[in-house]
Chains A and B, each alone.
Chain A
């Protein structure tokens, strides 16, 4: 028996020692390089370059930091251990990216935005971008929601959306559950829920940032509604974009909606006025736990996770929350699907091979979902159910999903709308005055 045991132990030791030996390179670092590069989603990512290649991928953007990207790059390093990521924040990004792209410090991959398209001052940002629709690159573009993919007039694709954005409201699910209320799906329900909360002693059933027009609660609540009103009216869009004299009338329904919203007593503007900014202050106020609904954009939602630990109230009384569309009509809410951050590859880069390889690695449903979840932003893929925070948007019917790029409103037209809605919401103008002032806001 002892001999058998000794032999067994000796064999185990030998096997253990054998297991300690280095793996064959072919197992660890496959060097197969298919001529036609498969998309990374087909059977997982398969490197198409020599995995021992030593290189640096420089990525330029406007974020102070981009940890979510670094996480994905760590995954990429598992295939290409000798490739480094250099992420650089460019000051005054939107104005500087053109200069940067032409300078000595030009990145291989850079942030890009749909709204830059067609504007002369951002011409370099579009012109210096590689066409990512080239099938030879093997990007799995099919996993991305089509309405946020911007193809240029010549059919090329200078940028790929990595994050998307939308407007909505943070919902304190625990509070709803506690009070036996359901998250509203129509405007009528929204008003009823607000009243119900108020009756239950909640002074502010709904809040939002109101000090500046850019992401004020007025815009966040009515912009999707506005888009819905003009989405299928090309004439209206044309007039709005060209500041036609009659264009102001196209925003009237939205102005009336915000007036109704305010009159229905859903929000207390005085209380909202105490929220100093549309980011930290909004989140921390929501974490106080006494606000059932807080309007904000997807950008703000991305900051909630990190700020949980900074809120003593939330630490003391944590609760479940999610981000849902704001139902401003009786037909339900509109999912305003906007691209947020997009990646372009510098076609003049000396590292296009490895830059494209990284893009092929990144542009898959799995990786895009992962990077979005890590960043806290909405994913650009067709599947939003993976993230409870944004799952409600995935449930919005396609017919009620709108994209500003598809609608065709220019950025200037949107700014005019924002100014008008802010003026009415804050009581600086009447609806008529605001309608009349359309095109004159600065």
Chain B
């Protein structure tokens, strides 16, 4: 409806413009036509002047002759002789006609004779009445066009009355002197000079309308008769018109003998008695309309083209707007869906947190119940944190603000962290978990570790999450050659025996909030953002992600990334020549670990079960060639790692260093492992560096029990400065630190922190935990100010950011400001302790 309305408005505007153009054109045309008519009138008047001048010139000559003849007493013969001598024009002649007889003499002989000069005007009806011949000088006395009786030529004659002496009767008689000029002479001179008026024709008429001179298009012998023949008019109107034509200058429109409209310009010839100059011109010559139509068509076509272009452009814009509107609608719906989903996903853990908190408050005496509530509150809190992180990530991804912050990091630590993080769920769901590494030779790589972790964790956690208890999750990480110079190609494959995905879901699995509709899935917490973020991260890191899945059978994700190798690498790792026995039911694990150990210079034997291992150890022991190190997997069929170690200790001896290895959490089996006689624990996957370090530790601390992980004695007495403006945050961190024997001072903002450092004694603080967003001076400026302090100790004190600004660019910003680390809020005390230890050990970045 609107389109039609707009089209109609456009058409109306075009029509209005065209109407204006036409009207303007018509106006201009009329105006131009009027100007042309006026010009034509002017030309006619000019021609009248020219004619008048000519007539006056001829008349003056006639006057001169007349004066001379009248001043003398001359007979007709004498007068004729006088004029004959005075003649200049070859074709002109003079006739002297006696008024009484209308006969006389000509200055030139009759055609075809030599001496016959007699001439008669008796039959010409020209001089029957000579009243029209005025006295000399008073008027131009010109006859109408008539046939010269001497030669038959159409001629005009300028006249004067003269008096001639009649010698026979000794009397004087009145006569008329006629200076006769052929009209053909006049016609040669009597043309409209302007080339644009070449079609104009001129005529002269006398007071009765009879032509004196007649143009070709003028018909009849009487102009008025001619006019009436082709222009119907009543007697009264025609009379008025003829009066106007013969008495004034101007123009009228009239139809000629061809039915053609013409412009008749007229002006009186003032020096004659009632003569009028007429100019006739076809109106179409004066009225040039072609250009107007050209203008009209050019404007029309232009407007139509413009209209069509506009219309098509409008249609295009409408289409774009429709698409945009649909997108906006979809986005709005997505926002609504998102908010709805968020509401649900936030309220669910919040419900758990609030509900369990209420339960804990009501049952303070029930320690077991309270502990369980707090554990579940922690889980819900972590889920909430994950959700928030995911939302922030997806927001950044979609806004295009996500940037990589590459750092040098250890892939070993990354994998360890990955395994550690996945341990609780694996344990909880009793999932068979394996992690294989293959040919990982470059430990330190250079990329955005946080994003890499995110990718690896997301895929692994999904695999664990969607694998039902008793299922299996296997991870493989292998290093390969990258086509990109200076890079290694890391291939990360996570396969599970979980619920799998339908092909329909797989088409949209990377879209936000996509979660497979499955009764089993609905019980699993998730934001539906994980895969979206993962894919975006992989693409951001320049890699690829592929997925193969079969519903009910499991899923395999493969991520391939080309990651630059860091400049810094571990020095050449080489073990002393030792014999190592590795025991695992996983053949792949056996082979990769064996290869790794061999690359370290060890002699390696493999046993695929505990019993086989015991046999081999016993055999070695009996032959006096005990293994230097035995590495036993925990999860093995028939005889697991703990039992195997126990039997080795009881049946063979306690001297051989034994490392228990597992992809599971060490804490769960720590006590049992110690009891069984394990000397240490090494987390799968078995990295080269990890094995190198552990084996060297074991060899150096032979038979010495490994240091328990919960020994925090090294942290006792540490004094830390915490810059934190929020009271509750300060309370939490100080309380948590105090749990590990760490004391702390508080600086309420950056300024105070700097002041305290400026005045602190050397060694007063081991490090500073610095909040970023604080009043007066923020953490970044405070760090920069501290780095500029004069006191070298104060200026070089380790500073770790502790902030809710958890994005990688925030971390980079912190490091750029001179900080040494970053811990994001909400704080994980384990990570805090790990960071403290890292700093304490001097492993600063």
Contact = CB atoms under 8 A, between A and B. Distances in A.
Interface of A: 64-65, 67, 70-71, 74, 84, 86, 88-92, 95-97, 99-106
Given A88-B154, A105-B152, 17 more contacts: A64-B221, A65-B219, A65-B220, A67-B257, A70-B257, A84-B216, A91-B123, A91-B125, A96-B147, A99-B151, A100-B152, A101-B152, A103-B151, A103-B152, A105-B182, A105-B184, A106-B152
A83 B544 CA distance: 94
Interface string B210-253: 00000010011110011001000000000000000000000000
A391 B14 CA distance: 63
Nearest to B183: A105
Given A88-B154, A92-B124, A65 B221 contact: yes
A104 B147 CA distance: 12
Contact of B222 (A65, A95, A100): A65
B480 interface: no
Nearest to A85: B216
12 contacts: A64-B221, A64-B222, A67-B219, A91-B146, A96-B149, A99-B112, A100-B147, A100-B153, A102-B112, A105-B154, A105-B182, A105-B184
B282 to A, nearest CB: 15
A105 B111 CA distance: 12
Contacts of B150: 99
Contacts of A86: 216
Nearest to A91: B147
Chain B interface extent, by class: 20 to 34
Enumerate the 8 nearest inter-chain pairs by beta-carbon distance, A residue then B residue, closest first. A100-B152, A64-B221, A103-B152, A92-B123, A99-B152, A65-B220, A91-B147, A105-B153
A98 B219 CA distance: 25
A4 B769 CA distance: 83
Contacts of A67: 219-220, 229, 257
A74 B258 contact: yes
Contacts of A96: 147, 149, 152
- Which label, helix, strand, loop or mixed, suits the secondary structure of the A interface? mixed
A104 B182 contact: yes
Interface of B: 110-112, 123-126, 146-147, 149-154, 182, 184, 216, 219-222, 225-226, 229, 257-258
Contacts of B226: 65
Contacts of A74: 257-258
Contacts of A90: 147, 152
Nearest to B234: A309
Contacts, number: 69
Contacts of A99: 110-112, 149-152
A97 B152 CA distance: 7
A175 to B, nearest CB: 26
Contacts of A95: 123
B178 to A, nearest CB: 14
B640 to A, nearest CB: 83
B221 A102 contact: no
A90 B220 CA distance: 14
A65 B219 CA distance: 7
Contacts of B153: 100, 103-105
A99 B151 CA distance: 6
Contacts of B146: 91
A96 B119 CA distance: 12
Contacts of B216: 84, 86
Contacts of A89: 221
Contacts of A70: 219, 257
Nearest to A98: B152
Contacts of B258: 74
B505 to A, nearest CB: 46
Nearest to A74: B258
Contacts of B123: 91-92, 95
Contact of B151 (A71, A84, A88, A104): A104
A276 to B, nearest CB: 18
A91 B154 CA distance: 9
Contacts of A105: 151-154, 182, 184
Nearest to B221: A64
Nearest to A71: B257
B265 to A, nearest CB: 22
A371 to B, nearest CB: 15
A175 B151 CA distance: 53
Contacts of B225: 65
A13 B184 CA distance: 52
A89 B147 CA distance: 8
B154 A102 contact: no
Nearest to A84: B216
